[in-house]
Every structure is written in C-alpha cells, then in structure tokens.
Amino acid sequence: MKNYRVFDHTADLGIEILGQTQADLFSHAAMALSDLLVEEVDVRKTASTETRTLVIDGADSPDLFVNFLREILYLFNGEGLVLTVCRIAQIDAGRLTADIRCCRYDARKHRVKKEIKAVTYHQAAVVKTAKGWQGRVIFDV
C-alpha cells in the first residue's frame, strides 16, 4: 500500500506523504523517494547488503525532513545505494536517527524510474493532523 501521492509542480515533482506517527512519516517519505528513483526488475535477486545508522539534524521539522531526504538521495546518486528498509529509531524537532538497509544499484536488477536532482525547501512541510502526520516535499527533476 502506498503511503504517498505524487503531484506535478511546474518542472518539478512533488509528493505528499502520510504516517500514523512522525517516525512513520519520515520512514514512508524515504521509501517513497526510493520508489520514485528505482524499480527492482527482479526482486528475488536483490538483497540488502549494507546497513547504516544515519543521524540527521535540522532547525525544525521541515528542515529535518528535507535534510533527511537529501541524505537518502545522496546515498543513491553519490554512493549507488538503493534503500530497501528504513526504520526511524528516534526523532524530535531537531534530530533523527534512522537505521537503514540498502543494496548496491545494479543495472541488471534495477531500472531507474525518475532522475531526481535535488530535494527542495519549496513548500516543504511536516504537519500533525487529526489522523496522524502529513508531509510535503518537492523534488527538482
């Protein structure tokens, strides 16, 4: 089940993400970004090969959201890692700790779906709602 919705924004791409908790929201956003970037051609051949703990800081929740997603994007663009699992271990308004699992990008096993250049601050939001948490972010494509 998808926990996000894609919307068009001029020459960019935006997503709105939902989560029961703030940790769910951030985890769902990371997985949504991974889903937008890469499609697994043969899931049976793809296994998580690397685990990491990320510690991300931000001035407030939207800044933390953008900084976290920038790190996930860097893992793909800079290190060739495809996010497979994301668990938020700790989160507050200024810092989060995430335990992630990744696999190496392999053109035989993966297909690039969308080239995303950057995560922007434009309209970035993290809001507590009556049903949980909602986030919004726009990517430069």
Q: What is the pLDDT of residue 43?
A: 55
Closest CA to 3 of 132, 114, 102, 119: 132
pLDDT in single tens digits along all 141 residues of the chain: 578 888 876 768 999 999 999 999 999 999 999 999 999 876 555 677 899 999 999 999 999 999 999 999 999 999 999 999 999 999 998 999 999 999 999 998 899 999 999 999 999 999 999 999 999 999 999
Q: Tell me if 1 is assigned to some domain.
A: no
**Which residues neighbour 82 within 8 Å (Cβ) at sequence distance 6 or greater?**
34, 37, 38, 46, 76, 102, 103, 104, 105, 110
Residue 64: which CATH number? 3.55.10.10
Q: Tell me if 3 is assigned to some domain.
A: no
Specify the 3-state DSSP secondary structure of 78. helix
Q: What is the pLDDT of residue 94?
A: 93
Please state, as a whole number, how many other Cβ atoms lie within 10 Å of the Cβ of residue 66.
21
Kindly state the DSSP code that residue 42 receives in the 8-state scheme: -
What gap in Å lies between CA 87 and CA 103, rounded to an integer?
16
Q: Tell me if 16 is assigned to some domain.
A: yes
Q: What is the pLDDT of residue 61?
A: 96
What gap in Å lies between CA 61 and CA 96, rounded to an integer?
10
Q: Tell me if 2 is assigned to some domain.
A: no
CB 126 within 8 A of CB 103: no
Range of the domain at 82: 9-140
Domain count, the chain: 1
Put simply, whether the predicted model's pTM sits higher than 0.85 gets the answer: yes
